[in-house]
Amino acid sequence: MSIQIAPETAHSTTTFGERVAKVLPSIASNVGLAEQERKVPDANVAALRDAGFFKAFQPKRFGGLEVGAEVYGPAVVDIASACASTAWASGLLAQHSHMIALMSDELQHEIWDDDSTALVSSSVAPLGKGTPVDGGVRLSGRFSWSSGCDHATWAILGFLRPDPIVDGALATHFAIVPRSDYAIHDDWFVAGLNGTGSKTLLVDDVFVPEHRIESQIGLMTGLSKGFGSNDGEIFHTHFAHWFAMGFSAVSVGIARKFLEVYSDKVSTRVRAYTGANVGTTAPAYMRLAESHHQVRAAYATLSADWSAFTQKARSRVLPTIEEDLYWRSNQAYATKMAIEAVDRLFTASGGSAWFQHNEMQRLWRDSKMTGAHTYSDYDIAAQTLGRSLLGLPRDAAGF
Amino acid sequence: MSIQIAPETAHSTTTFGERVAKVLPSIASNVGLAEQERKVPDANVAALRDAGFFKAFQPKRFGGLEVGAEVYGPAVVDIASACASTAWASGLLAQHSHMIALMSDELQHEIWDDDSTALVSSSVAPLGKGTPVDGGVRLSGRFSWSSGCDHATWAILGFLRPDPIVDGALATHFAIVPRSDYAIHDDWFVAGLNGTGSKTLLVDDVFVPEHRIESQIGLMTGLSKGFGSNDGEIFHTHFAHWFAMGFSAVSVGIARKFLEVYSDKVSTRVRAYTGANVGTTAPAYMRLAESHHQVRAAYATLSADWSAFTQKARSRVLPTIEEDLYWRSNQAYATKMAIEAVDRLFTASGGSAWFQHNEMQRLWRDSKMTGAHTYSDYDIAAQTLGRSLLGLPRDAAGF
Amino acid sequence: MSIQIAPETAHSTTTFGERVAKVLPSIASNVGLAEQERKVPDANVAALRDAGFFKAFQPKRFGGLEVGAEVYGPAVVDIASACASTAWASGLLAQHSHMIALMSDELQHEIWDDDSTALVSSSVAPLGKGTPVDGGVRLSGRFSWSSGCDHATWAILGFLRPDPIVDGALATHFAIVPRSDYAIHDDWFVAGLNGTGSKTLLVDDVFVPEHRIESQIGLMTGLSKGFGSNDGEIFHTHFAHWFAMGFSAVSVGIARKFLEVYSDKVSTRVRAYTGANVGTTAPAYMRLAESHHQVRAAYATLSADWSAFTQKARSRVLPTIEEDLYWRSNQAYATKMAIEAVDRLFTASGGSAWFQHNEMQRLWRDSKMTGAHTYSDYDIAAQTLGRSLLGLPRDAAGF
Amino acid sequence: MSIQIAPETAHSTTTFGERVAKVLPSIASNVGLAEQERKVPDANVAALRDAGFFKAFQPKRFGGLEVGAEVYGPAVVDIASACASTAWASGLLAQHSHMIALMSDELQHEIWDDDSTALVSSSVAPLGKGTPVDGGVRLSGRFSWSSGCDHATWAILGFLRPDPIVDGALATHFAIVPRSDYAIHDDWFVAGLNGTGSKTLLVDDVFVPEHRIESQIGLMTGLSKGFGSNDGEIFHTHFAHWFAMGFSAVSVGIARKFLEVYSDKVSTRVRAYTGANVGTTAPAYMRLAESHHQVRAAYATLSADWSAFTQKARSRVLPTIEEDLYWRSNQAYATKMAIEAVDRLFTASGGSAWFQHNEMQRLWRDSKMTGAHTYSDYDIAAQTLGRSLLGLPRDAAGF
């Protein structure tokens, strides 16, 4: 009996999904290379570019596809089953296009006019220092965790400055900086998702003109410079759900892959001490069933929200704060479920699963790390939603 | 911020749902009466009858509505939030119509010709003894757990006999018996779902003609006597998913109600020893958030399957064994999630939640009991799905 | 194989334990009566009095035994296995003697001179109002949750007043009041531990002289009026651990009983639908094993602490704040483990476990309710210990 | 407030413990080297040898100490807090002495006469093939997972042959083979416990004389060749508990270390996006508290059993099958608790915990891997104990 995490027979029932599906075998074949190079292999980026994956959320006027989240999400799940790191980093590169499409028209042209396939990486926590100067800021800082930066020609970098939208209070802004303005410092030596190449970008006193700067709050309230610059329905909304939807999709994709690997391996596994066939024992198959149910529930949760926030965008009404909180925190919960599903199976996979040549240990590490991102952190998500459900003001412990 | 367990603003967006929604306040007002009478109050059955609830799965030729599971399910969730016992028992009474619609045309006419609002209760485990006689069987037995029996005029009762479909092996059959042929023994003294009135039906050597007998396997394989007797699309499928879909819907409905009650109570709760306001502490609101996420995931799982098995029926192709297993075992998992969500909140509700005048203790008992049914038992579900996923033969530990 | 929750063959290896063990069968035989009367049956109190149980922590000069917590604790576990409500209420009555022994010598004589078997119930949350008058206070209030009050001739009642130990800040004090000064209001209608008779004591403007008043902080710091009035080693310590040690012991005792009941029932249980023997399926016996391990761990935790705080008292050095926090919060964790152990088994006990004549449902309700007391509340315990471990100041969310 | 996992102030209250405690700083300083060399560093083995650690279970006539398990266990916990891999492998080397002391007197002399500090590694699953020849067997095989083999001069290797104790049924036997008879194949490339050097031993048709062969069942029943050859009380018992007691002790030691590291790091941790101090948020300190409680419970469980099986040995009565099962399966449960305690904290430690220079990720990997050993596998433990508790025969799914 096959592993299925959704009622529909297959994810890849869309044209977009089908094109991505064709390159999955080659991406899967590079999974060792990704871990070794500690970045997404060039061949994977090329394959996904050819498949049109990076076009998903790019405005049509620059050659993009403007697909909905319910079309895009399953593709990220599929890629993650082939190579989690590739899905994580490439997903971000694709998702950033949605954010860029809300920024100034001038910036969009700068990025995509000459090269409509240009990619943008990010480091959005406000780690930089922006000194106000005439016509913009001078930016400096060490911007860490920039997944996929090796394949990007621009970077979205966070810093704090007073934001008129909130009466001049300090708030996160993003400076979008061309590749020539930053160096990549390779400090990506980690225990999971090794192939994302999430290195540190070094910026030393670089001028960023105002049209390349956006307020985070502006991007969440329809007040960004380029809001309305693209007619596509998917751009009439907040950036956050589109920007961040990949993390949980990757987590579910890894979990689905683990279900398959576990099923294969446990069927033939015997205990060294007794010769017993593990796969015929109740705990072995009950763990599989429970993880299967859990991954289905995680996928059902995400799937419902992908449709909901796409539909909301199409309605051309901005989401409410409640919707924002549900969509955001449901993702952290889905990630938590997917991680638990993998861990339940890995727990019962024995010592041989720990050898480096066994993909189980890598999938387990990758899976766990999908929960380490701020966006996936369930303590943050639960605090934020919980306070809101009881009518308490948001506090700094939230996101 | 309001409690919502689905992306859509409200469940009751269908005509069917709206009609049911109108009687919910009166059902809710009888929740104490239901517990006291240990059966569904007559007024509740009358209200649901007037709302058309029992017509959901009845064939149109007898005045039924033939709505899809995705229309019916949310209504059961809604009723369960008002009164769990009413939803459990009334749900079964409504769901049985789908099963009857697959049985002999003669039987359908016997039940509904004179009274198109006639209801049928059941006790489907093969607890009876059927002695073969000319033209049928003579049936005897004590048939327990017949929820809602006080409101039914017929009963579906299980017994074993050789089944030609499986080469004459002993298999469960159902005898459908009129009210005059059985006595109701009131032994319904329990610790949860007190209002379901799931009493024992006593049958003493009653003749059941062949047209009132169906094979369970026949009902799962399109081989029952009345398969095709009704043209409606929802009848071109297995009976089990429609018969049993209420259990998990009730569990989710209770959980949603508990989220609301907890939100209300915790906001004003203070600790007796310190005077501290509990509702502003992180564990109090994080428990609420996690239970909220979990109930959403449970609902998303059920909702996806309600659509899937309705769509399958409409396609007029019988479900595969895989689909049967997914739909069936997902329900047990959703129930498990809903119970955990309630228990997480009740755990932190303090001693005052235990007084009989506090609905929390009742909701918690009702919630837990939704998992005690064979269909909801997660050990059974996980064993059955797990064995299937690994290609092992079904064994008796399963369902 | 027998159920054992401690490495030693039997608990009752002490003279104290053996005397208690002899009356357990008669206590167990009254378990239905306790639930029906909603208080500890008179016969149970008489039996425990004859066994010397209430003498455990009473000073020797009044005929007490002054046994250590490591001798007393196992006896409470044993009683709880026979009747949880009896153990809860009788335990408190016995434990209160330790607190009284730290109070004014005059009070001790008032209570025990005429009747050395006099028992004292309590309601220690500061629910009362004490108006200062010459030589004491005038006390009024509704004091709820006074377990075992029907069997006591005095009551310990909480109220707030300025405490010189903390520079006159408002702090909890206890007024000890004779039976003639309060009425018992029977409002004990609850969903668990029904037999504890934890009713409300009504006090209407009663004069309490100063020698019958103690500061809670004084009792935690060796500054109470009668500290040193008894020479026994067990009285050279804080009152709290001795006062409150029964709650977790009861929880573990219920859990041990559930292990036994489950083992008996599951061995012969068959599934109604399939006739399968449940007791030979892996989930059934693995749940038993895990709950068994968990109850052992809970008992090992308590047992280590009973020895530790008795040994500390014998050393005649007052416990540190760290030790207080460990001993207090470990009990909440042990209770949490015991409740989980019971719930895991009840979850898989099927519908028949829910009938009122089946003790499983009562044990499950009693078990869960042991966690509802402020002292057992794990959110409080975790917050308090957690803050302390990180060097944060105690806050009102704690105890 | 300091982290303490036992009521006593410190573990190292024994002379044995104090000597080991002195070398812990140097062992801790080599933790990176251990991971890099993928074996226990020579300096660590030398330090532990000087401290007398390997003498714990060696017979006094060869210069051993014959300490009890309650003295030895805490030392392993302490070493594991310094370096998990060192504790795992060195623990096994020390524990093997107990097994050797039950084997033929001739073998004991061969091993220890010339070098009383000689160490023995093992690979006890019956992976080899032993061809019977005159006076012994000819042994061949690939014996994997031989922790600490680089530091040993003998190896205990498993194979199957008919065992007269069980009427000639095939059963595991151990061949003890000198270093000259096997090659070490370095295939130790794993994701956790990298420093244990658990490589594969290659044996090619080597003669093993009968006095170097023992039946596993013999070692569990007082029927081994050297039973009684040493007068020490700790040798009048089964080998298994002493052989295998290190695994769970290592797991608890890692967990205690993680509690300390987490406490340190979380106190100063700030969120990149908001600047919020994580250590002052409730989920951060409540996770710490719960893991602390859980590790205490795990330690209390082990500690009670260490005392129990040492006391049993001193009583010179062989353990019962029940005791064997409790001691064995409690260890798996304690390991499970310790792993959960670490995982709960790592889950909330954020992305920075994943960098290779952060010990958290190593501790988390090491912790998880302690559960992957057959002896620690909780599915095996629960099945075995559970079947026994219900009186079912042992099956191959157990150990």
**What average pLDDT does range D322-327 have in this prediction?**
94
Flag residues of chain C having pLDDT under 70: 1, 8-13, 396-399
pLDDT of residue A398: 53
Q: Is C304 on the interface with D (CB under 8 A)?
A: yes
Q: Is B361 on the interface with C (CB under 8 A)?
A: yes
Cβ neighbours for C9, distance < 8 A, ≥ 6 positions apart: none
In this structure, what token pair is assigned to residue C245? Answer: 């040690």
pLDDT digit string (tens) for A173-211? 999 999 999 999 999 999 999 999 999 999 999 999 999
Instruction: Quickly count: other Cβ atoms within 10 Å of residue B16's Cβ.
Output: 21
Element (H, E) at B156: strand B154-163
Q: Is D9 on the interface with A (CB under 8 A)?
A: no
pLDDT digit string (tens) for C19-68? 999 999 999 999 999 999 999 999 999 999 999 999 999 999 999 999 99
State how far the Cα of B331 lies from the Cα of B333, in Å rounded to an integer.
5
pLDDT of residue C11: 54
CB D182 within 8 A of CB D149: no
Look up residue A229 and give its amino acid: S
Nearest chain B CA: its distance from C4 CA (Å): 26
Q: pTM score > 0.80 for this model?
A: yes
DSSP structure string for C174-239: EEEEEGGG-EEE----BSS-GGG--EEEEEEEEEEEGGGEEEHHHHTTT-STTTTSS--GGGSS-S
CB within 8 Å: D348 and A374: no
Instruction: Quickly count: other Cβ atoms within 10 Å of residue A217's Cβ.
Output: 17
Q: Which chain C residue shows the shortest CA-CA distance from B366?
A: C354
Identity of the residue in A1, A326, A383 whose CB atom sits nearest the CB atom of B388: A1
CB within 8 Å: C7 and D301: no
Q: Which chain C residue shows the shortest CA-CA distance from D380?
A: C286
pLDDT digit string (tens) for C65-99? 999 999 999 999 999 999 999 999 999 999 999 99
Write out chain D residues lying below 8 Å of C304, CB-based. 6-7, 300, 303-304
The fraction of chain B above a pLDDT of 70, given in percent, is 97
Question: Which architecture does CATH list for B11-100?
Answer: Orthogonal Bundle (1.10)
SS3 of chain D: CCCCCCCCCCCCCCHHHHHHHHHHHHHHHCHHHHHHHCCCCHHHHHHHHHHCHHHCCCCHHHCCCCCCHHHHHHHHHHHHHHCHHHHHHHHHHHHHHHHHCCCCHHHHHHHHCCCCCCCEEEEEEEEEEEEEECCEEEEEEEEEEECCHHHCCEEEEEEEEEEHHHCCEEEEEEEEEEHHHCEEECCCCECCCHHHCCEEEEEEEEEEEHHHEEEHHHHCCCCCCCCCCCCCHHHCCCCHHHHHCHHHHHHHHHHHHHHHHHHHHHHHCECCCCCCEHHHCHHHHHHHHHHHHHHHHHHHHHHHHHHHHHHHHHCCCCCCHHHHHHHHHHHHHHHHHHHHHHHHHHHCCCHHHHECCCHHHHHHHHHHHCCCCCCCCHHHHHHHHHHHHCCCCCCCCCC
Write out chain B residues lying below 8 Å of C369, CB-based. 351, 354
pLDDT of residue B6: 85
Q: Is B97 on the interface with A (CB under 8 A)?
A: no
Has residue A68 got a pLDDT over 60? yes
Q: What are chain D's partners, defined as 3 or more CB pairs within 8 angstroms?
A: A, B, C
Q: Where are the domains of chain A?
A: 11-100, 119-221, 240-389
Q: Which chain A residue shows the shortest CA-CA distance from B333?
A: A293
- What residues pair up with B172 in beta bridges, in sequence order? B160
pLDDT digit string (tens) for B316-327? 999 999 999 999
Running DSSP on this structure, what letter comes out for residue B349? Answer: S
Fold of B119-221: Butyryl-CoA Dehydrogenase, subunit A; domain 2 (2.40.110)
CB within 8 Å: B286 and D283: yes
pLDDT of residue A8: 62
Q: Which chain A residue shows the shortest CA-CA distance from D352?
A: A372
ipTM computed for the complex = 0.96
Task: Map residue C246 onto helix, strand or coil.
Answer: helix
Show which of residues 237-266 on chain B sit within 8 Å of chain A, judged by CB atoms: 263, 266
Identity of the residue in A124, A145, A273 whose CB atom sits nearest the CB atom of D374: A273
CB within 8 Å: B385 and A298: no
In chain A, the N- to C-terminal Cα span, in Å, equals 42
Show which of residues 330-359 on chain C sit within 8 Å of chain D, judged by CB atoms: 330, 333-334, 337
Nearest chain A CA: its distance from B174 CA (Å): 30
**What average pLDDT does range D236-252 have in this prediction?**
97
Nearest chain B CA: its distance from A269 CA (Å): 12
> Which comes out higher in pLDDT, residue A50 or D11?
A50
pLDDT digit string (tens) for B158-208? 999 999 999 999 999 999 999 999 999 999 999 999 999 999 999 999 999
Show which of residues 378-397 on chain C sit within 8 Å of chain D, judged by CB atoms: 379, 381-392, 397
Nearest to C45 by CA among C121, C110, C101, C103: C121
State how far the Cα of D6 lies from the Cα of D303, in Å rounded to an integer.
9
Q: What average pLDDT is seen over chain D?
A: 95
Flag residues of chain B having pLDDT under 70: 1, 8-13, 396-399
Nearest chain B CA: its distance from A6 CA (Å): 8
The fraction of chain A above a pLDDT of 90, given in percent, is 91
pLDDT digit string (tens) for D166-191? 999 999 999 999 999 999 999 999 99
Write out chain A residues lying below 8 Å of C281, CB-based. 282
Question: What's the gap between Cα C205 and its chain centre?
Answer: 29
Write out chain D residues lying below 8 Å of C293, CB-based. 301, 329-330, 333, 382, 385
Q: Is D283 on the interface with B (CB under 8 A)?
A: yes
CB within 8 Å: A191 and D356: yes
pLDDT of residue C12: 57
CB D101 within 8 A of CB D61: no
CB within 8 Å: D286 and B282: yes
Write out chain C residues lying below 8 Å of A286, CB-based. 282-283
Q: Which chain D residue shows the shortest CA-CA distance from A192?
A: D354
pLDDT of residue C9: 46
Has residue A9 got a pLDDT over 60? no
CB B101 within 8 A of CB B52: no
Give me the half-sphere count of Cα atoms (radius 13 Å) on the Cβ side of residue D105: 6
Write out chain B residues lying below 8 Å of D286, CB-based. 282-283
CB within 8 Å: B373 and C353: no
State how far the Cα of C176 lies from the Cα of C157, in Å rounded to an integer.
6
Cβ neighbours for C62, distance < 8 A, ≥ 6 positions apart: C108, C112, C113, C116
pLDDT digit string (tens) for B246-281? 999 999 999 999 999 999 999 888 888 888 898 899
pLDDT of residue B212: 98
Question: Which architecture does CATH list for D240-389?
Answer: Up-down Bundle (1.20)
Q: Kindly report the CA angle at A105 between A182 and A93, in degrees rounded to 5?
A: 50
Has residue D162 got a pLDDT over 50? yes
CB B380 within 8 A of CB B332: yes
Nearest to A143 by CA among D101, B270, D272: D272
State how far the Cα of C352 lies from the Cα of D141, in Å rounded to an integer.
55
CB within 8 Å: A282 and B307: no
Q: Is C283 on the interface with A (CB under 8 A)?
A: yes
Element (H, E) at C171: strand C169-178
CB within 8 Å: B351 and C127: no
